[in-house]
Chain A
């Protein structure tokens, strides 16, 4: 949807290692978002970006950082992965304006052992 590609699609890693997830979009949408999806919680916002180099925290940002050096790329980093960060991670993009839908990638399934 909206030309959003997430990589990798699956990853297994060990506690304490750094992990970076990538989101790439081809639609030139200004806003980008990272969510995590856990059973019973729906999707929860981790971080978002409202322009190149402009980012802010969402509701579950502890243990995560982001960077956006180009319009099309939004990176999510787990600085030192913990088992509680095992989840499915989704990237989304939208045009400016609060009446705009968000468009989602297919997700990254991350397992931390």
Chain B
């Protein structure tokens, strides 16, 4: 089975600062990778996905992620944090014919004014 590791259960940044959320995966085959965001009392919303077309993937709200095969990483970045980015972020990898997802444990992003 696949596994996903998100380093840092809590990350705190100042408004306007760079956001970097880390995700490493284990996979014996080229993976399909996803980042989701969850606001309080809501479901998960797709931020972006990597499906091998390009290593740098752009998503919604100026988020982007870079796939690095040599490092088995898919870190999420945003150049300038906004207060509205405060949420929990999940990295996921899909596996198999039935598109089963394996999620990381999540990173809560706090944005300080």
Contacts and interface: CB of A to CB of B under 8 A. Distances in A.
A94 B104 CA distance: 19
B43 A98 contact: no
A58 B2 CA distance: 13
Contacts, number: 71
Interface string B66-96: 0000000000000000000000001000111
Nearest to A59: B1
Interface residues of B, number: 29
Sorted nearest first, the 10 A-B pairs with minimum C-beta distance are A104-B43, A42-B103, A99-B51, A42-B105, A104-B44, A43-B103, A106-B43, A101-B46, A99-B32, A50-B98
7 contacts: A31-B98, A59-B1, A98-B32, A98-B94, A99-B94, A102-B44, A107-B42
Interface of B: 1, 4, 6, 9, 32, 34, 36, 41-46, 49, 51, 90, 94-106
Interface of A: 1, 4, 31, 33, 35, 40-45, 48, 50, 56, 58-59, 90, 92, 94, 96-107
